[in-house]
Amino acid sequence: MITTRNPQLSIYADQGADAKVADMDPEDARCLLMWVSRAKKTDENEKLAAIIVKVLLIIISSDVFPQAN
């Protein structure tokens, strides 16, 4: 899984394998993360995925990294 703000990098994904997730619901993002990571569905993995999603949302919503042109 690659996360980026640079849409030009989608050329490295298989056709149809990229997704625009900026407006994705956190629960949908957690489910997507569980699916693409092929993680076993356990309580611990679900909690870890939720934490990862929260961190990514904080990064995306911040100005830590400038937008790609």
Q: What's the pLDDT score for residue 1? A: 63
Under 8 Å between Cβ of 34 and 41: yes
In a domain, 55, yes or no: yes
- Which structural domain, as residue segments, surrounds residue 24? 7-61
pLDDT score, position 21: 67
Query: pLDDT tens per residue, the chain (69 residues)?
Result: 666 777 788 777 777 777 666 677 889 889 988 998 999 999 999 999 999 999 988 877 776 666 655
Q: Is residue 57 part of a domain?
A: yes
Residue 3 has a pLDDT of 67
Our count of domains for the chain comes to 1
pTM of the predicted model, to two decimals? 0.62
Rg (CA), the chain: 13
**Segments in 1-64 forming alpha helices (H):** 26-37, 43-61
Measure Cα distances from 58 to 3, 12, 15, 20 in Å.
Answer: 13, 25, 28, 16
Q: What are phi and psi of 39, to 5 degrees?
A: -75, 145
Residue 12 counted as domain residue: yes
Confirm whether 69 is domain-assigned. no
